């Protein structure tokens, strides 16, 4: 235990590389920008730089969708998802600014006024190469951006949003070509054009490899099927998934996969669920609460149903650990990755503690398993449930310090609903736990 060396996240070097690329785009624009003498030149050059930056960010948006293991397992899937959402918002804003400023500049250049932008846009689409494809791609980006707005997204079924979101690939492909054929910077700088082709070509190769070829190889190799479905508590089921040589998938406690069950009505739905037990050579297990159509349908799966999986993903594994003592905090069905870590994290008696929050004792899924693991390992198992009157338990910095006297010397792994996670995070920080030792993955954007 004295030799614990946590794997460092490559987030900082990656961000530095991203900013270096952005600086290179700005230099290209500056290098090819003549002296700006009038308002028309200012508007057109503003359109150029917004277009260049939008093109650069589009490549990064697609890269963040490629599920590259270095990002998904080391930076963390939740952080990559937030980067993707943020990059998408910036990209759409820059695309809209680019279209508006460029068409405005062209209109002024042709002796038109600001009110003639629509006609100027139509003329440009009809006259300039690849502008028709760019217009369609831009329209797709606007649609994707609209359905990704928080309020609208919550009203849509996840599968509908997911499949609309996949049109990002088509949108980027359609808008790419006009960058090369109509972009002045690439016309006068052959090296810049080559770099742009390499950037987009590399991202395309990563998408093909990790989104298509790698999952095909994984599923042909391991041939997974549903072995059994077990009801743990009302509304929560465990799905046992068998296959060949599953230990060679590289899965660890804390990882999740994107699961697709090839049963009627579920073939086109792919959802992320964490492993709820340590992976075995012949068996994986997920435990899921029925909170939507897909999760509710899992209880009806029949043994023998083929399973298509992508992964493993996630960074909330033992590699994040830096201390000898660990506190695991689970809220509701967030117990699933915590249960797997509770079983597998190495430690002497008293080193591992699990705090499980649920509404009632009947909602404590997998409790018998957790009690057995605690007894075998000499680990501590605590639960926090509402009182008979419905009063919520006190999970505060003072309570945590009282229950776990040396909590500031612990690593903390946490999984649960966003509100619960925020409350516990604040309590942990108040109890003296450094932020770098609180490990949590959240997909709220």
Per-residue confidence in pLDDT tens, the chain, 445 aa: 344 555 566 678 888 999 999 999 999 999 988 777 788 889 999 999 999 999 999 999 999 999 998 888 888 888 898 899 999 999 999 999 999 999 999 998 888 877 788 999 999 999 999 999 999 999 999 999 999 987 888 888 888 888 899 999 999 999 999 999 998 889 888 999 999 999 999 999 999 999 999 999 999 999 999 999 999 988 899 999 999 999 899 999 999 999 999 999 898 888 999 999 999 999 999 999 988 778 889 999 999 999 999 999 998 899 888 889 999 999 988 999 999 999 999 989 999 999 999 999 988 999 999 999 999 999 999 999 998 888 999 999 999 999 998 999 999 999 998 889 999 999 999 999 999 899 988 755 4
Residue 144: what are its φ and ψ, rounded to 5°?
-60, -40
DSSP 2: T
Burial class from Cβ neighbours inside 10 Å (0-12, 13-18, 19+) for residue 380 reads middle
Q: Are 301 and 261 in contact (CB under 8 A)?
A: yes
Q: How many other CB atoms are there within 10 angstroms of residue 155's CB atom?
A: 9
CATH code for the structural domain at 223-313: 2.40.30.10
Domain positions in the chain are: 11-213, 223-313, 319-440
Question: Measured between alpha carbons, how far is 82 from 80 in angstroms, rounded to an integer?
Answer: 5
| CA 385 remoteness from chain centre | 30
Sequence-separated (6 or more) residues with CB below 8 Å from residue 221: 244, 245, 248
Question: How far apart are the two ends of the chain, measured CA to CA in Å?
Answer: 36
Closest CA to 361 of 335, 322, 330, 387: 387
Q: Which long-range contacts (CB under 8 A, 24 or more apart) does 68-72 make?
A: 68/206, 68/210, 69/210, 70/10, 71/14, 72/313, 72/314, 72/315
| CA 215 remoteness from chain centre | 17
Confidence (pLDDT) at 5? 52
DSSP bridge partners of 273: 257
Sequence-separated (6 or more) residues with CB below 8 Å from residue 61: 84, 87, 88, 91, 168, 172
| Topology given in CATH for the domain delimited by 319-440 | Rossmann fold (3.40.50)
Full-model pTM: 0.87
Question: Measured between alpha carbons, how far is 235 from 132 in angstroms, rounded to an integer?
Answer: 50
CATH architecture of 11-213: Up-down Bundle (1.20)
Confidence (pLDDT) at 444? 55
3-state secondary structure of 46: helix
Question: Measured between alpha carbons, how far is 51 from 234 in angstroms, rounded to an integer?
Answer: 53
Sequence-separated (6 or more) residues with CB below 8 Å from residue 326: 341, 345, 347, 351, 352, 353, 410, 411, 412, 413
């Amino acid at each position: 235990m004295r030799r614990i060396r946590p794997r460092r996240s490559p987030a900082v070097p990656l961000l530095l590389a991203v900013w270096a690329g952005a600086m290179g785009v700005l230099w290209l624009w500056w290098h090819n920008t003549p002296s700006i003498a009038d308002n028309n030149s200012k508007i057109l050059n503003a359109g150029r730089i917004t277009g260049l930056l939008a093109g650069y960010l589009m490549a990064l948006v697609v890269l963040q969708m490629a599920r590259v293991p270095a990002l998904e397992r080391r930076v963390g899937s939740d952080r990559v998802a937030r980067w993707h959402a943020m990059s998408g918002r910036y990209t759409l804003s820059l695309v809209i600014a680019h279209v508006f400023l460029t068409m405005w500049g062209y209109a002024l250049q042709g002796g038109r006024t600001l009110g003639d932008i629509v006609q100027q846009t139509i003329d440009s689409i009809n006259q300039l190469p690849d502008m028709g494809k760019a217009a369609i791609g831009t329209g797709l980006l606007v649609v994707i951006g609209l359905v990704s707005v928080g309020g609208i997204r919550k009203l849509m079924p996840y599968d509908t949003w997911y499949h609309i979101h996949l049109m990002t690939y088509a949108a980027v492909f359609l808008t790419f070509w006009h960058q090369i054929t109509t972009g002045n910077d690439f016309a006068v700088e052959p090296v810049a054009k080559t770099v742009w082709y390499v950037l987009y070509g590399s991202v395309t190769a990563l998408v093909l490899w990790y989104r298509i070829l790698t999952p095909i190889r994984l599923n042909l190799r391991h041939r997974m099927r549903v072995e059994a479905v077990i009801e743990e508590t009302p509304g929560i089921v465990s799905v046992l998934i068998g296959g060949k040589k599953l230990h060679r998938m590289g899965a660890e406690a804390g990882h999740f996969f994107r699961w697709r069950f090839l049963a009627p009505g579920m073939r086109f739905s792919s959802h992320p669920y964490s492993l709820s037990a340590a992976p075995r050579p012949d068996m994986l297990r997920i435990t899921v609460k029925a909170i939507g159509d897909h999760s509710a349908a899992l209880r009806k799966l029949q043994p023998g149903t083929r399973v298509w999986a992508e992964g493993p993903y996630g960074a909330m594994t033992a590699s994040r650990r830096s201390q000898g003592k660990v506190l695991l905090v689970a809220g509701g069905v967030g117990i699933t990755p915590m249960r797997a870590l509770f079983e597998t994290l190495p430690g002497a008696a008293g080193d591992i503690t699990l705090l499980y929050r649920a509404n009632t004792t009947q909602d404590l899924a997998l409790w018998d398993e957790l009690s057995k693991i605690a007894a075998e390992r000499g680990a501590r198992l605590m639960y926090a449930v509402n009182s008979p009157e419905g009063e919520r338990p006190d999970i505060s910095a003072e309570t945590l310090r009282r229950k776990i006297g040396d909590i500031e010397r612990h690593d903390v792994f946490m999984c649960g609903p966003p509100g619960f996670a925020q409350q516990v995070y604040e309590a942990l920080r108040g109890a003296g736990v450094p932020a770098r030792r609180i490990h949590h993955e959240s997909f709220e954007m």
